[in-house]
Amino acid sequence: MAVHSMGSATISFGLVSIPVKLFSTGQASESISFRMLHKKCGTPVKQQYICPQEGVTVERDDIVKGYEFSKDQYVLFSPEEIKAVEEEPTKAIAISEFVPIDQVDPVYFDKPYYLGPDKGAERAYRLLSEAMKQSGVVGLAQYAARGKQYLVMLRPVANGLVMQQLRYASEVRPFSEVPIPVKGEIKPAELKLALQLMQQTMSKEFHPENYTDTVHDRMLEVIQKKVEGQEISISPAEPAKAQIIDLMDALKASLGAAPTKGARKAELEVVERKPAKRSPRAAASEPAARPRKKASK
């Protein structure tokens, strides 16, 4: 099935101009959406805007946009005023600089678009893609569309180009704001076991077709049963598995090795919080531990 272009633009670097077409990277799939219904009669409900001060329904023609500059204080904007400030779509993707691809943290990645060469731009398009591929760089540019100015990154892929929309620095929360305790020393033996565990499931290539949305499939199955008038039974959730507190024991168990003898206390734990102390009554109600077999001499 032929893919349809969703727009056009022109890439430029130096005095070279490359007309391109934009294509969506996503393809149509059966999305599951639910309507809001009146529980009593099953009729879809309609959304209304209510003025909380006057208690009346406000029609769309009587709604204006406003910016809250202080608590409950707004300045109003007309559609013409907002449009005058918005960026005019120029369809120009002017590359301002090239940087190594590993210098752009994926945390800045937003929506991607495929770029294809427009008529007569095939050679220049392939030249730019191959040059970036061989040098291991990506091109950074700004692109105006839908009244906004976007930061974008052009990167080579296969025999073509992808335009990756990026977040601006002000739109990304710094990782330094994430609370991470400084304590916790990594032991060489633990690191060795962790690397062995990773090696067991390590692949040289990424194959997205190996992963499917199982929740989507289950939901479709339940919907079909309801459409056919079948009764749906809800199975109870599986009980949580026993938690291994000792990190070394958890790594060895993951590798299929026998856990260390005893329940020695580890300096680095899988769970940061210590297990709560049990009352004598709770401890008495638990099944007795199996006696250990003595080693034969």
Q: Please provide the average confidence, as pLDDT, over all residues in the chain.
A: 81
Mean pLDDT of 51-80: 90
Question: Is 220 among the domain residues?
Answer: no
213 lies in some domain: no
5 pLDDT band, cuts 50/70/90, is confident
87 assigned to some structural domain: yes
Nearest to 158 by CA among 224, 111, 114: 114
- Asked if residue 67 is part of any domain, the answer here is yes
The pLDDT score that the predictor gives to residue 29 is: 65
Tell which wins on pLDDT, 27 or 25: 25
Tabulate helix, strand, coil % of the chain (nearest 5): 25, 25, 45
* Highest mean pLDDT out of 70-79, 103-112, 177-186, 213-222: 103-112
pLDDT band per the 50, 70, 90 thresholds, residue 148:
confident
Per-residue model confidence (pLDDT) at position 279: 44
Q: Is residue 176 part of a domain?
A: no
**pLDDT value at residue 181:** 82
Residue-wise pLDDT for 79-101, tens only, equals: 888 888 776 767 899 999 999 99
Q: What is the pLDDT of residue 136?
A: 94
- Total number of domains constituting the chain: 1
Q: What is the pLDDT of residue 257?
A: 54
pLDDT (average), residues 112-118: 94
- Residue 7 in domain: no
Task: Give the rounded distance of the alpha carbon of 179 from its chain centre.
Answer: 21
Check whether 229 has a pLDDT greater than 70: yes
Q: What is the span of the domain harbouring residue 72?
A: 46-170
Is residue 273 predicted with pLDDT exceeding 80? no
**Alpha-carbon separation of residue 227 from 36, 87, 213, 216 (angstroms):** 18, 48, 22, 16
Confidence of residue 186 (pLDDT cuts 50, 70, 90): confident
* pLDDT tier at 160, thresholds 50, 70, 90: very high
146: left (phi over 0), alpha (psi -120 to 50) or beta: left
Task: Judge whether 248 lies within some domain.
Answer: no
Asked if residue 148 belongs to a domain, the reply is: yes
| Rounded distance between C-alpha atoms, residue 254 and residue 259, angstroms | 10
pLDDT of residue 284: 43
pLDDT at 40 over 50: yes
Of 257 and 9, more confident: 9
What per-residue confidence (pLDDT) applies to 1?
Answer: 59
Token pair of 106, please? Answer: 């994926």
Label residue 242 by pLDDT band (50, 70, 90).
low
Main-chain dihedrals φ then ψ at residue 249, nearest 5 degrees? -65, -40
We report the CATH number of the domain holding residue 139 as 2.40.290.10
| DSSP notation for 16-75 | EEEEEEEEES-----------B-TTT-PBP---EEETTTTEEE-GGG--EEEEEETTEEE
Q: Which of 105, 156, 106 is nearest to 135 (CA)?
A: 156
Does 43 score more than 80 pLDDT?
A: yes
Report phi then psi at 187, rounded to 5: -90, 145
- Give the range with max mean pLDDT: 61-65, 76-80, 86-90, 134-138: 134-138
